[in-house]
Amino acid sequence: MNPRVPGLSGSPKGPRTASGPASPANAAPPTGPNHSGAQVDWHAVLPRFARVSAGPGSIAGMDESFAFESELWRWEGGGEAAWFFVTVPADVSHDIRELPRMPRGFGSVRVRVTAGGSSWATSVFPDSKTGCYLLPIKKAVRTAEGIEEGDVVAIELDTVD
What's the CA gap between 141 and 133, in Å, rounded? 19
Which tens digit of pLDDT belongs to each residue from 13-69? 444 334 444 444 444 444 545 445 556 554 444 333 333 333 444 344 457 999 999
On whether residue 60 sits in a domain, the answer given is no
User: What's the pLDDT at 140?
Assistant: 96
pLDDT band at 8; cut points 50, 70, 90: very low
Which tens digit of pLDDT belongs to each residue from 99-158? 887 777 788 999 999 999 999 999 999 999 999 999 999 999 999 999 999 999 999 999
Q: How far is CA 31 from CA 7, 13, 16, 42, 156, in A?
A: 9, 18, 10, 6, 39
Domains contained in the chain, number: 2
Instruction: State whether 38 and 82 are in the same domain.
Output: no
User: What's the pLDDT at 37?
Assistant: 56
Instruction: State whether 21 and 72 are in the same domain.
Output: no
Instruction: State whether 38 and 114 are in the same domain.
Output: no
- Residue 72 has φ and ψ, to the nearest 5°, of -80, 130
Supply the range of the domain harboring residue 31. 8-48
